[in-house]
Amino acid sequence: GLALGWSHDTLNRAVFPTDGGQQRVSAMATVPGSDLEYFKLSYKHQQYFPVARDVTIRLAGEVAYGDGYGDTTTLPFFENYFAGGVKSVRGYEDNTLGPRDSHGDPFGGAGKITAKAEMYFPVPFIDDVKSIRLGTFIDAGTVYDDFDTGEMKFSAGLSGEWLSPFGALAVSLAVPINAGDDDDTQSFQFSFGSGF
């Protein structure tokens, strides 16, 4: 296959940025005539805005889509996109949003949309702690084969990040706003490492 990517970074620092942005574009396609002919495109963006001393707003989003071409009619299932979890839509279990198979298990989809709005602030009553920050957030997202705005899932909650001696640790306490009966929800989540 062929793959192309582009990224641009204007963050003021790599850890706990307070200003600037970061974006990535990627595209890949299999070679025409391959057993499976398909393509995938994605765009990710995050932007930080300082709004007051030690208070920062982060807006982030991702749009991704893939499909078959030639004799391949759809994106192969093993290339499907997934969402849900602490790094995409908090309050829902990892990789559980979107279409499901005949057994009710998450199957992923040919497209993905996620969006986040988060406000970071320092730990109250503790001065000069630069390795910990708290936040409040709203997340939204869906995975789909046929896009339907009614399938967007939303959550809101509180987050905490700690730059520990062993790496970054993120925790969140989220409330899924419009979870359905079939959705796998998870209010408390954590992850090691940071990712964009």
User: Which one has a higher pLDDT value, 193 or 7?
Assistant: 7
- Tens digits of per-residue pLDDT, 133-192? 999 999 999 999 999 999 999 999 999 999 888 888 999 999 999 999 989 999 999 998
User: Does the structure show a pLDDT above 70 at 107?
Assistant: yes
What is the pTM (predicted TM-score) of this model?
Answer: 0.91
pLDDT band for 89, please (50, 70, 90 cuts): very high
The phi, psi pair for 131, rounded to 5°, reads: -100, 0
- Give the per-residue pLDDT at 196: 53
- The CATH number for 12's domain is 2.40.160.50
Query: In angstroms, what CA-CA distances link 138 with 60, 187, 194?
Result: 11, 13, 18
Average pLDDT of the chain is 94
Indicate the residue type of 108. Answer: G
Tally the domains of the chain.
Answer: 1
- Give the per-residue pLDDT at 195: 56
- Give the per-residue pLDDT at 187: 95
User: Does the structure show a pLDDT above 70 at 194?
Assistant: no
Percent of the chain with pLDDT over 90: 84
Give the domain extent around 120. Answer: 2-192
